[in-house]
Amino acid sequence: MKAFLLLVAAALVAIAVALWTGIFNVSALVPHWGITSEIIEFARDRSVEVHSRDVRIPSLDDPKLAARGASQYHETCRICHGAPGVAAEVIAQGLYPAPADLLSGESQKELGDKQLFWIIENGLKMTGMPAFGTTYQKNELIEIAAFVKHLPAMTPQQYRAATSNSGQNTQEHNNSGAP
């Protein structure tokens, strides 16, 4: 037991020295050490899985839900995640870790409906992902999640049609280089 306590004390001293010396670089331009990334990603994935278990939402497969989430996605999410035919805005280029690529479909394959909704509602610490549960109603968050689930299958034309009621939509599409 004494050896264990000494080991723990030594580890705490090593951590304190590392923090005090600034050896851990917090710059968003410098990637995490491999082990740091693995620990953070493991903690994130387990946390989302555990905390989303009790989420009660309808199926996100409903196209009507997705259609209603288009304008909210366009107003808030496409800034960092982009959209079909619309590049993410310049602010997203400086985020570390980089925002999830929601157009590829990989995030949607990795996450279940509950997990996707939970991330949108609660955000993710140590990323640029805000908690939209403070600004949107639950039904709107469900609609955004449904839209995100359908996003990879959308063409730029379908995206423009789905978001045509968004206030600055035409200008943003013209600035994106999309036809």
Task: Express each pLDDT in 26-51 by its tens digit.
Answer: 899 999 999 999 999 999 999 999 99
CATH code for the domain of 87: 1.10.760.10
- Whether residue 7 is contained in a domain is answered as no
At 179 the pLDDT is: 35
For the stretch 89-144, pLDDT in tens is 999 999 999 999 999 999 999 999 999 999 999 999 989 999 999 999 999 999 99
- Whether residue 65 is contained in a domain is answered as yes
- Whether residue 22 is contained in a domain is answered as no
What's the rounded Cα separation, in Å, for the pair 1 and 112? 43
Q: How confident is the model at residue 25 (pLDDT cuts 50, 70, 90)?
A: confident
Q: What total of structural domains would you count in the chain?
A: 1
Structure-token pair, residue 41: 């990603």
DSSP 137: -
At 24 the pLDDT is: 84
What's the rounded Cα separation, in Å, for the pair 109 and 141? 19
Residue 174, pLDDT > 50, answer: no
Give the CA angle between residues 132, 134, 135 to the nearest 5°.
70
The Cβ of residue 96 has, within 10 Å, a number of other Cβ atoms equal to 14
- Whether residue 119 is contained in a domain is answered as yes
Q: For residue 76, what are the domain limits?
A: 60-175
What's the rounded Cα separation, in Å, for the pair 26 and 48? 24
- Whether residue 6 is contained in a domain is answered as no
Coil, helix or strand for 107?
Answer: helix
Provide the CB-side half-sphere exposure for 28 (13 A, CA): 12
Residue 169, pLDDT > 50, answer: no
Backbone phi and psi for residue 132, each to the nearest 5 degrees, phi listed first: -85, -5
Residue 168, pLDDT > 70, answer: no
- Whether residue 107 is contained in a domain is answered as yes
At 70 the pLDDT is: 97
Sign of the CA dihedral with 7 first, then 11, 12, and 17 last: positive
- pTM, two decimals, is 0.84
- Whether residue 153 is contained in a domain is answered as yes
- Whether residue 12 is contained in a domain is answered as no
At 51 the pLDDT is: 98
Contact indicator for 145, 120 with CB cutoff of 8 Å: yes
Residue (of 173, 144, 175, 139) closest to 159 by Cα position:
173
